[in-house]
């Protein structure tokens, strides 16, 4: 009964009986398209043991960064849809089809959505020497000349697109500096080699707390309990500057329905365990726990949103 309730709450498209009709024949590979230590890597490694127990097979996390997640995503296209290979995706999954031409894949035609797991807000984060307030940041960012450069964890990621949107809305003079992942980006921000970033809340929170970095604004509808003193961009005059990172699971399209149903059940069950939910929320993750229908809706929404940002900003692959 408890398992049935979890599945109903998560909005799964298959029945518990269908979900129980398949088990993996060997270790399951979870491909994370970012380096170790990134937000979705942390999430995947936290959930993997509980998912392994449910599936009856080990889940092996494999990091394949590069190309704004395109390297891992294109590699997943070449794997069979047998349930032995899963891909942890983020917003960039819905960016790349518009950023790269010809489009490298269709998120819903080439992949089967399994679960929408979590989301985290973006924090406008600067090196402490750059600015003490958002007003000071705006003044420096709008000044002629070099302006303030900004980093991201990769071309076409949600952190990149969110910062590009703020650049457009605020009229900033800013140059994008892409990195292969969050750890490298944060290292250079702390060293002052880049001036500002949009950071995932769990990634930047430790450096904000110890003073190595400074938060100027939150790109979210409401303030965060973790940073109650930090205003939202809406409070600062930019109500449409809302940006976040969501994390979900997909597998290659064409597999049997019971395979997808079994994975949805296992991973959402791991996510929605009370102790896991508490642990993730303490780290700054917002637990969504939605099944294939919710994941499909989010993918469709963001494909349109990011296509418009790419068009207006004139973005091209770097």
Question: What tens digit of pLDDT does each residue of 226-275 get?
Answer: 999 999 999 999 999 989 999 999 999 999 999 999 999 999 999 999 99
At 198, give phi and psi (nearest 5°). Answer: -90, 125
2-120+245-313 and 121-218 agree in CATH topology: yes
Buried residues in 277-309 as b, exposed as e (16+ CB within 10 A): eeebeebbbbebbbbbebbbebbeebbebbeeb
- Three-state secondary structure call for residue 124: strand
What would the pLDDT profile of 62-90 be if each residue is shown by its tens digit? 999 988 899 999 999 999 999 999 999 99
Question: How far is 35 from 21, CA to CA, in rounded Å?
Answer: 34
Q: How many CB atoms lie within 10 A of CB 67?
A: 20
Q: Is the pLDDT score of 198 beyond 70?
A: yes
Band of pLDDT at residue 12, cut at 50, 70 and 90 = very low
21-64 tens-digit pLDDT: 799 999 999 999 988 988 889 999 999 999 999 999 999 999 99
Question: CATH topology for 2-120+245-313?
Answer: D-Maltodextrin-Binding Protein; domain 2 (3.40.190)
Report if pTM > 0.95: no
Q: Where are the domains of the chain?
A: 2-120+245-313, 121-218
The 10s digit of each residue's pLDDT in 91-138 is: 999 999 999 999 999 999 999 999 999 999 999 999 999 999 999 999
What is the homologous superfamily of the domain 121-218 according to CATH? Periplasmic binding protein-like II (3.40.190.10)
Query: According to DSSP H, which parts of 56-107 are helical?
Result: 70-77, 92-99
What pLDDT is recorded for position 154?
84
Nearest-angstrom CA–CA distance, 296 and 235: 31
């Amino acid at each position: 009964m408890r398992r049935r309730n979890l599945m109903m709450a998560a909005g799964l498209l298959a029945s518990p009986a269908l979900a129980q009709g398949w088990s993996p024949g060997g270790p399951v590979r979870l491909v994370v398209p970012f380096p170790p230590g990134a937000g979705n890597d942390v999430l995947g490694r936290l959930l993997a043991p509980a998912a392994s127990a449910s599936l009856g097979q080990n889940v092996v996390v494999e990091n394949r960064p590069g190309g704004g997640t395109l390297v891992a995503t294109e590699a997943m296209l070449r794997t069979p849809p047998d349930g032995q290979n899963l891909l942890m995706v983020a917003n960039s999954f819905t960016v790349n089809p518009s950023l790269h031409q010809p489009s490298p894949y269709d998120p819903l035609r080439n992949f089967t959505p399994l679960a929408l797991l979590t989301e985290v807000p973006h924090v406008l984060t600067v090196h402490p020497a750059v600015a003490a307030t958002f007003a000071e940041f705006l003044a420096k960012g709008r000044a002629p000349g070099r302006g303030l450069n900004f980093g991201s964890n990769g071309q076409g990621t949600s952190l990149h697109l969110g910062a590009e949107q703020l650049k457009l809305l605020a009229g900033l003079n800013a140059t994008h500096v892409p990195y292969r992942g969050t750890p490298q980006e944060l290292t250079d921000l702390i060293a002052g080699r880049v001036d500002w970033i949009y950071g995932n809340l769990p990634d930047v929170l430790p450096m904000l707390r110890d003073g190595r970095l400074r938060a100027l604004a939150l790109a979210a509808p409401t303030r965060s309990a973790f940073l109650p003193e930090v205003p939202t961009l809406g409070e600062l005059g930019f109500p449409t500057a809302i940006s976040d990172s969501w994390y979900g699971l997909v597998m290659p399209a064409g597999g049997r329905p019971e395979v997808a149903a079994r994975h949805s059940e296992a991973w959402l069950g791991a996510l929605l365990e009370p102790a896991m939910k508490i642990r993730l929320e303490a780290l700054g993750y917002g637990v969504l726990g939605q099944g294939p229908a919710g994941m499909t809706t989010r993918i469709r929404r963001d494909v349109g949103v990011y296509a418009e940002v790419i068009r207006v900003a004139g973005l091209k692959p770097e």
